[in-house]
Structure 1
Amino acid sequence: MEQKISMVSASLNGVRISPRKMRLVADLIRNKEIQKALSILEYSSKKRVSYFFRKLLLSLLSNWKRKYEQLEDINLYINKIVVNQGKTLKRLRPVPQGRGHRIRKRSSNISVFLGKNKK
């Protein structure tokens, strides 16, 4: 009988990058194998976001290894990535005639879930 594998996840909250920019990189690695996703992130280093996703994927592998105590001969892939909006910092920018326009500095919350291929 095959052992039922529950989902392993990792999350990163309060990243000071807007969710819209995060989702661009999240779409690149969604439903990819974990090693392939890490190499994609390594070569998309122009985007500042890729650093946070690499950090998150390495944490996810560590969580998997701690839970199942094995890492070899398993085809792990990214099952699901969720990028939500976190807290928004509100600032004022001075404009003419004594007025102020609002600046919204957005942050993101990221959750990544790991799955196992059935190969």
Structure 2
Amino acid sequence: MTNKTKYNAYKRYTSVYALGQHIGMSAHKARRVIDRIRGSSYEETLMILELMPYRACYPIFKLIYSAAANASHNRGFNKANLIISKAEVNEGTAMKRLKPRARGRSYSIKRPTCHITIVLKDITLVEKTKYTDRMFRDKYLMAG
């Protein structure tokens, strides 16, 4: 797995991510929650997830909380400046189970799983990156 994060002029990564694999629910039900929180701030997202009545909210809440802990511990980001820049849900493998039926038969049941990726971005570093990119463009590219 490669970590494709944008590296700014201050030699710091601007984003961190958390990946949850083999979560026991369908991707369709998890996408319903993910579509609601994409692009919102970290604190607003936690409030939204606590109030939504869906079962998918708890694993997503844990992932976002973990990504914010990664951001503050590993990168030194402030949690108040984090936004959810990317949130995606992919289908995982289906767990195959057998359900006993009448007369000694059994039916196969496929329990779907999904993989959820949450990417948090520090907006203060993104603004600094835009500013330095603009300075670089003005100084070197427009001069010649």
The normalised TM-score by structure 1 is 0.82
Shift of 1:95: 6.5
Q: 1:76 aligns with which of 79, 82, 97?
A: 82
Q: 1:26 aligns with which of 27, 34, 42?
A: 34
Q: 1:40 & 1:57 partners in 2: Cα distance?
A: 12
Shift in alpha-carbon separation, 1:30–1:70, aligned structure 2, 3 A:
closer
Q: Indicate the structure (1 or 2) with the bigger Cα radius of gyration.
A: 2
Q: 1:115 aligns with which of 121, 125, 141?
A: 121
Q: 1:104 & 1:49 partners in 2: Cα distance?
A: 18
Once the two structures are superposed, the pairs formed by residues 1-119 of structure 1 within 5 Å of their partners are 3-6=10-13, 7-44=15-52, 46-71=53-78, 75-93=81-99, 101-117=107-123, 118=127
Shift in alpha-carbon separation, 1:112–1:70, aligned structure 2, 3 A:
closer
Count of aligned residue pairs for this structure pair: 117
Matched-pair contact (CA < 8 Å) for 2:77–2:122: no
Task: Work out which structure has the larger RCO, using CA pairs closer than 8 Å and 6 or more positions apart in sequence.
Answer: 1
Amino acid at match of 1:40: I
Q: 1:92 & 1:68 partners in 2: Cα distance?
A: 46
User: Would you tell me which structure has more helix in proportion to its own residues?
Assistant: 2
Shift of 1:86: 1.4
Percent of residue pairs bearing the same amino acid type: 32
1:19-38 deviations in Å (ceiling 9; x for gaps): 11000000010011111111
User: Would you tell me which structure has more strand in proportion to its own residues?
Assistant: 1
Amino acid at match of 2:82: L
